[in-house]
A and B are shown apart, each in its own frame.
Chain A
Amino acid sequence: MTATSSRTDLGMPGHGLEGVPTLPEDATPQTRKDFTSDQEVRWCPGCGDYAILAAVQGFLPELGLRRENVVFVSGIGCSSRFPYYLDTYGMHSIHGRAPAIATGLATSRPDLSVFVVTGDGDALSIGGNHLIHAMRRNVNLTILLFNNQIYGLTKGQYSPTSQVGLITKSTPMGSVDHPFNPVSLALGADATFVARTMDSDRKHLTEVLRAATAHRGTSLVEIYQNCPIFNDGVFDVLKDRSEGEARILHLAHGEEVAAGVNVVVRRDDGTLDVLPRDEADPARIVRHDAHADDPSLAFALSRLDDPTLAHVPMGIFRDVERSTYDDLVRAQIDGTISGAGGPATDQDIADLLAGRDSWMVGTAGKA
């Protein structure tokens, strides 16, 4: 292969769905029903997964994609049953490995819109390695991470996002494990799109999904999700209208980061603080910049989380453009093929097999 074809500058990545076939303009608009499979949904009554499924089924038609070009890949856990309920292509794989499987699929099939559905145990414990590497590479995937801070399918052990002190079957005296903050982890792994939303806020969830699918590269969407059986009510303070207003710091690009009477301000040392607006120096009030190349602000915002959920940033922490792994891989291959004058022929195979040091036996001369 020539050296010149080994690198191709793609410039800025396009829309997340570029290259995925859409329905003709005059086609009958799709509805939620088009994306609903014939399988009975089997989550526990009251599970937050129902709301997320409804939001996704309600949102997919607006993309205008052909159903056959949408693939959901999941791992293992309650949330990972998700693909069975969508009438698209889907794979319910093995614990933690969905990002790796989706990487192979997305890299070899630019005509597919690939979603990964995972949970806090699946993505952050057994599959932590695959998650960080998918984000580092920036494979064109939308990862929906359902975070209920508990292992549900195995009946209630603490997870890598459970709060310290949580009493579960495997931690009768309270968990001593320090939890991951999935947003901080994603930003640390150089994710190009990181957002947080909540199962019960369908409008916000849909807005985040819209932005996540438009983003080309790995979009990590953390979705706070209630497990009514093993960790019920863990996000209740955020769901209560007045409590939620006071606690949820809305992240909107270019807007002040605020919740109720509170605003986020920058201290002298550069770290962030949450103060009542009337105590804040207006010049220090933080305006969100989701498109900053430098992830420092996004990271600092993610560190405002605290175990009591006193203030929780919600929305898009980061949304920046960076070439995607799969686009770059395909560009090297496509560039090499077009540079060689088109797809390989039988003669090209014959030349490959012969190599440069071949010889003839029984006929004169070297090949």
Chain B
Amino acid sequence: MPTPTSTTSSTSRPDTVKLDRVVIRFAGDSGDGMQLTGDRFTTESAVLGNDLSTLPNFPAEIRAPQGTLPGVSSFQLHFADHDVLTPGDEPDVLVAMNPAALKANLADVPRGATIIANTDEFSKRNLAKVGYPTNPLEDGTLESYHVHAVALTSITVEALAPFDLTRKDKERSTNMFALGLLSWLYTRPISLTERFLTTKFGSKPELLAANLAALRAGFNYGETTEDFAHRYEVGPAPMKEGHYRNITGNVALAYGLVTASHRAGRPLVLGSYPITPASDILHTLAGLKRFGVTTIQAEDEIAGVGAALGAAFGGAIGVTTTSGPGLALKAETIGLATSLELPLVVCDIQRGGPSTGLPTKTEQADLLQAMFGRNGESPVAIVAPRSPADCFAIAMEAVRIATTYMTPVLILSDGYLANGSEPWQIPDTEDLPEFDVRLATERNGIDADGNDVFHPYLRDPETLARPWAVPGTPGLEHRVGGIEKANITGNISYDPDNHDLMTRLRAAKIDGIAATVAPLEVDDPDGDAEVLVLGWGSTYGPIAAAARSLRAQGFPVAQAHLRHLNPFPSNTGEVLTAYRHVIVPEMNLGQLSMLLRATFLVDIQSHTSVRGLPFSAADLEDVIQKAVTE
């Protein structure tokens, strides 16, 4: 719960209460515009200087039957005057646009929290749809909450009376009214949203005027109604000096790829097939032609990765984006890339599985598929971002590894990172890593007759990478293929010793990447922890929040987070054995734990959850505390 730090403030209105943090959840029907509302509120908060973290949560159906539980879409935002690590476990405020939104979310809302409900939608029919026999706003169900029952829809329609729009169109602006009201309640400026609407509805002046009017009406309603005793204020968080923006994981990933392509001086070619929750990367990159980006929306997942690999053969940074089911389909082509030893970046935005699973929910259960999901010994490099903004850096790292080591690299992001957002300190372009990508231009060998020849599988002694010789380079004509090749010459070879050698070389090349990967860092402020919590991917936020809270209570906890899953940083084994107890929380049934046990022969406490949602920091806190005090 937020902690009021003062009931009044001399610098703001007398009725303004200062809070250090707030978690708001906007919930409504899929068609109610909750994602947009949440997104705009987020931007307003970001520009105010709050630190924040967001969690969109929506059904796979685009428009499930109106007013039903499966159709509920929500957006949770945690904003604070201090460093924020998660979107928050429990909302302090629930905005429920209909009975379904109330019913679907009430269990997450702690008693004493605020509920703002749109009474217009609490009709007998809508209540019956979700199995409420009586109106929970009136029957005492919510008596332990602060309920603000507001006729959001009818006030919006009334406010838009002067506009020549259908009632339906007017009702569609209800989300802007709600945004205006919440913006007033939490003293957010609405000017940015006004600017956003002006861009969005620039070509439809009537709709623009209506949405602006609804937004302002919501803000003014807060001013004039006596329903709200206080306004709230959450001050800016202390952040390192710099230039910031809010960014989602998918956009950060796309920007990282483009920036890497720019730095490497090689064009970016994306081959992709639409799939939730990865499609936004395709959408973003399709809009970046200015940066020479080619996007090919292929006929299927296999063609997507095929086009990327074909482009890589031609000297481009070949990228494909997908989610679990698509990664399964791409497996054979990734195996080919492993054998051809060409750079390829495969982005798997994980979602609940198996099969179609939970398309819009998050999970981390593709780690073993990424490691082993191909025929034969076919090692690939695997990296995983730990937060939405980290997707930028991890994309650049993936391109670095792919081009330095001539190998496929898998990026394991997930639905939570993809759609979640956080403030990001925009890097100065001159601070970004340089990419020294060299294409082969000269022959590198001599044949039995003393002639200069090109050996496509003559390896760099340090990285074991073969040369990247692209078509169009005279004198380096060569053939590559998925059949085993003789080391050095690349000619077809069925020789047993050669296959053994090539299999070991491909493995050694991937293992060797660890030499250019930063060691695993442990965060153990007092240096006296005996329990280490080790995570990977999007669990970073909840783990860090739990560790911070426990330390504040006097429990020593060490935290480390893997961004490289294959190979592991070279000191990983040492880190693991330095602690009495190692806990590995994962949103799967223990896949990293299995790899760590097998690789380092260490005991691991695997803590798992596969609910399609990120861990709650409070749950992790309990688990870790037990281990610390045991």
Contact = CB atoms under 8 A, between A and B. Distances in A.
B475 A68 contact: yes
Interface string A189-211: 00000000000000000000000
B478 interface: yes
B388 interface: no
Contacts of A361: 49, 236, 239-244
A258 B552 CA distance: 92
A175 to B, nearest CB: 27
A228 B307 CA distance: 35
Contacts of A1: 287, 289-290
Contacts of A43: none
Given A89-B479, A358-B243, A366-B47, A104 B271 contact: yes
B46 A337 contact: no
Contacts of B47: 357, 359, 366
B290 A130 contact: no
A104 B311 CA distance: 5
A302 B312 CA distance: 38
A69 B471 contact: yes
Contacts of B511: none
Given A93-B481, A129-B300, A358 B426 contact: yes
A166 B574 CA distance: 65
Interface string A98-118: 001111111111011000000
B476 A348 contact: no
B241 A362 contact: yes
Interface in A40-94: 66-71, 73, 76, 83-84, 86-94
A363 interface: yes
Contacts of A101: 306-307, 309-310, 313
Interface residues of A, number: 66
Contacts of B308: 104
A363 B245 contact: no
Contact of A108 (B262, B306, B311, B427): B311
Nearest to B491: A39
B571 interface: no
Interface of A: 1, 5, 37, 39, 66-71, 73, 76, 83-84, 86-94, 97, 100-109, 111-112, 129-130, 133, 329-330, 332-333, 336-337, 340, 343-344, 346-350, 352-355, 357-363, 366-367
A346 B428 CA distance: 10
A354 B242 CA distance: 12
Contact of B299 (A109, A130, A360, A366): A130
Interface stretch (B144-152, B332-340, B531-539, B609-617): B332-340
A112 B306 contact: no
A102 B492 contact: no
Given A101-B310, A359-B47, A361-B240, A346 B480 contact: no
B299 to A, nearest CB: 4
Interface string B283-321: 000011111111010111011001111111111101000
Interface string B399-438: 0000000000000000000000000001111100000000
Query: For chain B, which range describes its interface: under 10, 10 to 19, 20 to 34, or 35 or more residues?
Result: 35 or more
B507 to A, nearest CB: 21
A336 B259 CA distance: 18
A37 B255 CA distance: 42
A94 B333 contact: yes
Contacts of B309: 101, 104
Contact of B192 (A67, A349, A357): A357
Contacts of A354: 243, 245, 426
* Nearest 6 interchain pairs by C-beta: A92-B481, A362-B241, A104-B310, A104-B307, A100-B306, A100-B303
A37 B480 CA distance: 13
B354 interface: no
Given A69-B472, A97-B332, 18 more contacts: A67-B474, A67-B477, A69-B471, A91-B481, A92-B480, A93-B336, A94-B332, A94-B336, A104-B312, A108-B269, A108-B314, A109-B471, A129-B299, A336-B290, A352-B291, A354-B426, A362-B239, A366-B47
A129 B493 CA distance: 31
B602 interface: no
B43 A357 contact: yes
B265 to A, nearest CB: 10
Given A101-B313, A363-B241, A367-B243, A353 B269 contact: no
B277 to A, nearest CB: 21
B218 interface: no
B569 interface: no
A87 B302 CA distance: 28
Interface in B250-291: 255, 258-259, 262, 267, 269, 271, 287-291
Find the residue from A90, A97, A362 having the highest chain B CB count within 10 A. A97
Contacts of A69: 471-472
Contacts of A112: 314, 471-472
A109 B243 CA distance: 38
Among A70, A86, A104, A333, chain B packs the most CB atoms within 10 A around the CB of A104
Given A104-B308, A353-B259, A84 B479 contact: yes
A118 to B, nearest CB: 13
B390 to A, nearest CB: 15
B606 to A, nearest CB: 36
A357 B46 contact: yes
Contacts of A358: 243-245, 426
Contacts of B236: 361
A359 B481 contact: no
17 contacts: A68-B473, A94-B333, A97-B306, A100-B307, A104-B269, A104-B271, A108-B310, A130-B302, A336-B289, A340-B290, A343-B292, A347-B429, A352-B255, A353-B259, A360-B243, A362-B240, A366-B47
Contact of A349 (B240, B262, B340): B262
Contact of A105 (B243, B255, B311, B478): B311
B246 interface: yes
B482 interface: yes
B578 interface: no
B244 A360 contact: yes
B595 interface: no
Interface string B446-478: 000000000000000000000000011111111
Contacts of A108: 267, 269, 294, 310-311, 314, 316
Nearest to A109: B314
A103 B291 contact: no
Contacts of A340: 290
Contacts of A66: 474
B518 interface: no
A279 B306 CA distance: 53
B303 A129 contact: yes
B515 interface: no
